Structure 1
Amino acid sequence: MRMTDVTKQLAGLGGAKWQVHLAAREMVAAGADVIEMTIGEPDVPPPAELMETASAAMLAGRTGYSNGRGEANLREALAERYSASSGRPIASENVLCFPGTQTALYAVLMGVAQHGDEVLVGDPMYATYEGVIRATGADLIPVALRPEHGFRMQASDIAEKITPRSRAILLTTPHNPTGSILTTDDLDAIGRLAAIHDLWIISDEVYDQLVFDAAEFVSPLARAAFAERVIVVSSISKSHAAPGFRSGWCIASAAFCDGLLPLSETMLFGNQPFIADMTEQAVRDGSPVAAGMRERFAARAIRLEERLHHDTSLRVHLPEAGMFAMIDVTSTGMDGDAYAQDLLHGAGVAVMPGSSFGERLRGWVRVALTIKEDRFDLALTRMVDHANQRSVAPT
């Protein structure tokens, strides 16, 4: 039986990128002692008060259809939050609610790009970006994120890739997988370029509450000179350790939200009212778990860097935010794919090959910082032993 072109466009972009993770899960199910450092699952449960609010809302009857834009109380809370953080007036008309950042990003890209268009994305990139862009029929144009620039996207590199087909620049700040944060100067240069070529700026900011103490986050939404072309997507998945609740949003001009509304309504018709009530509380009260995650993830990244630097020739790129750190494994003589497979089967530690996030990271792997302390330290010992067994000595 026939299937549509979109299924062909997305072939190989789902579980194929997560082969090591899936193999690790199979090994664990079979009884193997495997330490999983593959995915960004928060290391704490969602705050109990949020689950209590969601439960109370369900019992109170908040289980009916939603407004297509999302529940009014949540949209108002988000408007107030982004007005405060951006220093610009943001109203409810600037908000659309979705079940998670992924759905928001899919809808936004469907609204700005189509067959024959191009979307410029930093390479490396989050693993699902290729899929959401291909689903629109547009082409993904990778823009090199270079280690010498701290993996921050540079306007000069974007400029080299712009063509008459370009429609949008997709940013991730803080960045997954590298943990880098775009500076004000970076954003202003990118904004000037977008204005010259009439491009949208889509900013995935799901890690904006997990910025480490030494770093500073600035959203392009706060840059008044080009804010009208900025679309922010985010959620409570990371900030409130609540990925399973699937509660996200986009913030954009009223005209963009009006134009995207029919697509949003066709897809899902708003978010669930009881989850909207919980999310409103999360937005208004802030996160009681984010500070602890920031502290733990930053400390684990430092331990990872110090241990591997001292005992092996593996090199760690320290993140400024988020849940991950990158390790350059080229000194082993293996690329990231071969190293990840060898580490899994030889040492019982599962990490993500860098190639899952783009060609620029073929010699790297990504390590989740969300593992509990004892297992994290055991993973470090296993990684050091594995490196030494393969004659990888510190330089």
Structure 2
Amino acid sequence: MRYAAVTDRLADLGGARWEIHALARALKAEGRDLIELTIGEPDVPTPKALIDVAHAAMKRGRTGYSNGRGEGGLVSALADRYSARLGRPFSRDQFLCLPGTQTALFLTMMALTGPGDEVLMGDPAYATSDGVIAASGAVSVPVPLRPENGFRMRADDVLAALTPRARVLFLNSPHNPTGAILTRDDIAALGKIARDHDLWIVADEVYEDMVYPGATFVSPLSFPELAERTVVTSSISKSHAAPGFRSGWCVGPAEFCARALPLSETMLFGNQPFIADMTEAALRAPSPVAAGMVTRFSRRAALLHAALDGVAGLAVNRPDAGMFALVDIRATGLSGRDFALDLLKHESVAVMPGESFGTTLAGWVRLTLTQPDDVTRAAADRIARHAARLQKA
């Protein structure tokens, strides 16, 4: 039987990148006692107050159809939030509400790119980013995010990758998997390239509320001169520990939203009203859980650095945000995948190979910071022991 070309484009961009995680889950199901440091899921439950809002909304009948843009209360809350944060007015027609950041990115890329177009994207990148680009027929063009530059995208590297087919510059700050944050100067330089070469800027900012003490987050939306070419996506998945509710949005020029709205209506025809009410409540008050997660994640990043950096040739990258830390394991002589498989086999610790996120992280592994301190410390001890064993061998 014949299938659409999109199935071929996405064939190798799905579950294969989560091989170690899937193997670890299978071993746990068989009764294996192991430490899982693969998936970036908040370490606290969704706040009860938000669940109560969703429950109350369902009880009063907020379970019918919505619309392609989003429920009015939520759209107003988004406009108020971005107007207050960025110090300039945002109108309701600059937002589209969707089930999570992933869907928002899919919609955005489908609206902005087509077959043969190029999207300049950092390498490494979140494991599903290639897929949301390839779905439209566009091509990901990797821009190396170099460790010596703090994993921040540099304008010179973008220019080196630029061709006349480029349509979008895709940013992710705070960044997954590195925890890097683009500075104001970084964005100014990247924005100049976008203006000079008529590129859209698409920014995934889902970790905006996960910034560690001493670091500063800046959005390209902060630059008025970039406003008409910037689309930002985000959600409450991380900031409010609500990944399973799948509630996100995109914000951009009103013209972009008007052009993308029929596509949104074709895909989903709106998100669930009771979840929209919960999201509105979430956005109209400070998150009750974000600050605690930031404190714990930054503490665990420091714990891993103290326990592993310089041990048996390992090097730990200190993140500025998010819920992950990177460990350079190249001194072991193994790839990230082989190290992860070996670590799971001998020490029952599951980590993500750097190769799941791009070629720049070949010989690295990513560790989640969402396990309790004592579990994180135990995992660090096992990783150190394993690296020392490999070094001796």
Q: TM above 0.5, one fold?
A: yes
Distance in 1, matches of 2:41 and 2:387, equals 26
For the residue of structure 2 that corresponds to 1:114, the secondary structure is coil
Distance in 2, matches of 1:299 and 1:4, equals 47
Equivalent in the alignment of 1:307 = 307
Distance in 2, matches of 1:392 and 1:371, equals 29
Equivalent in the alignment of 1:93 = 93
Equivalent in the alignment of 1:274 = 274
Q: Deviations over 1:65-107 (max 9, x none)?
A: 0021000100000011111111221111000000000000000
Aligned length: 393
Equivalent in the alignment of 2:370 = 370
For the residue of structure 1 that corresponds to 2:232, the secondary structure is strand
Residues 353 and 306 from structure 1, CA distance in 2 versus in 1: closer, same or farther, beyond 3 angstroms?
same
Q: Deviations over 1:12-55 (max 9, x none)?
A: 21110000000000110111111110010110001000000000
Using the TM superposition, give the Cα deviation of residue 310 of structure 1 relative to its aligned residue in structure 2, in angstroms. Answer: 5.3
Using the TM superposition, give the Cα deviation of residue 226 of structure 1 relative to its aligned residue in structure 2, in angstroms. Answer: 1.3
For the residue of structure 1 that corresponds to 2:294, the secondary structure is helix
Distance in 2, matches of 1:103 and 1:309, equals 37
Q: Which amino acid aligns with 1:39?
A: I
For the residue of structure 1 that corresponds to 2:191, the secondary structure is helix
Gaps of at least 5 residues in structure 1 are: none
Using the TM superposition, give the Cα deviation of residue 153 of structure 1 relative to its aligned residue in structure 2, in angstroms. Answer: 0.4
Distance in 2, matches of 1:359 and 1:391, equals 24
Q: Which moved more, 1:379-388 or 1:30-39?
A: 379-388
After the TM superposition, which residues 100-139 of structure 1 pair with which residues of structure 2 at under 5 Å, given as runs? 100-139=100-139
Distance in 2, matches of 1:332 and 1:306, equals 19
Distance in 2, matches of 1:90 and 1:222, equals 12
After the TM superposition, which residues 82-231 of structure 1 pair with which residues of structure 2 at under 5 Å, given as runs? 82-231=82-231
> Cα RMSD between the aligned structures?
1.0
Tell me, yes or no, if the aligned pair for 2:312 and 2:391 is still in contact at 8 Å.
no
Given the two structures, how large is their TM-score scaled by the length of structure 1? 0.98
Given the two structures, how large is their TM-score scaled by the length of structure 2? 0.99
Using the TM superposition, give the Cα deviation of residue 311 of structure 1 relative to its aligned residue in structure 2, in angstroms. Answer: 3.7
Q: Which moved more, 1:47-56 or 1:366-375?
A: 366-375
Q: Deviations over 1:86-138 (max 9, x none)?
A: 12211110000000000000000001100010000000001001111110101
Equivalent in the alignment of 1:32 = 32
Equivalent in the alignment of 2:247 = 247
Gaps of at least 5 residues in structure 2 are: none
For the residue of structure 1 that corresponds to 2:224, the secondary structure is coil
Equivalent in the alignment of 2:358 = 358
Using the TM superposition, give the Cα deviation of residue 374 of structure 1 relative to its aligned residue in structure 2, in angstroms. Answer: 2.1
Equivalent in the alignment of 2:262 = 262
Q: Which amino acid aligns with 1:88?
A: R
Equivalent in the alignment of 2:10 = 10
For the residue of structure 1 that corresponds to 2:203, the secondary structure is strand
Distance in 1, matches of 2:71 and 2:164, equals 38
Using the TM superposition, give the Cα deviation of residue 392 of structure 1 relative to its aligned residue in structure 2, in angstroms. Answer: 5.9
Among all aligned residue pairs of Structure 1 and Structure 2, give the percentage whose two residues are the same amino acid: 58
Distance in 2, matches of 1:88 and 1:155, equals 27
Distance in 1, matches of 2:310 and 2:109, equals 44
Distance in 2, matches of 1:159 and 1:385, equals 43
Distance in 1, matches of 2:13 and 2:192, equals 33
Using the TM superposition, give the Cα deviation of residue 391 of structure 1 relative to its aligned residue in structure 2, in angstroms. Answer: 2.5
Distance in 1, matches of 2:272 and 2:109, equals 22
Distance in 1, matches of 2:232 and 2:392, equals 43
Tell me, yes or no, if the aligned pair for 2:115 and 2:136 is still in contact at 8 Å.
yes
Distance in 2, matches of 1:129 and 1:309, equals 29
Distance in 1, matches of 2:356 and 2:87, equals 37
Distance in 1, matches of 2:87 and 2:297, equals 29
Distance in 1, matches of 2:48 and 2:269, equals 28
Tell me, yes or no, if the aligned pair for 1:332 and 1:392 is still in contact at 8 Å.
no
Distance in 2, matches of 1:392 and 1:264, equals 56
Distance in 2, matches of 1:373 and 1:307, equals 12
Distance in 1, matches of 2:199 and 2:391, equals 49
Q: Which moved more, 1:123-132 or 1:311-320?
A: 311-320
Tell me, yes or no, if the aligned pair for 1:331 and 1:392 is still in contact at 8 Å.
no
Distance in 2, matches of 1:152 and 1:265, equals 36
Say yes or no: does 1:298 pair with 2:284.
no
Equivalent in the alignment of 1:316 = 316
Tell me, yes or no, if the aligned pair for 1:85 and 1:222 is still in contact at 8 Å.
no
Q: Which amino acid aligns with 2:145?
A: L
Distance in 2, matches of 1:328 and 1:312, equals 11
Distance in 2, matches of 1:286 and 1:58, equals 24
Equivalent in the alignment of 2:66 = 66
For the residue of structure 1 that corresponds to 2:322, the secondary structure is coil
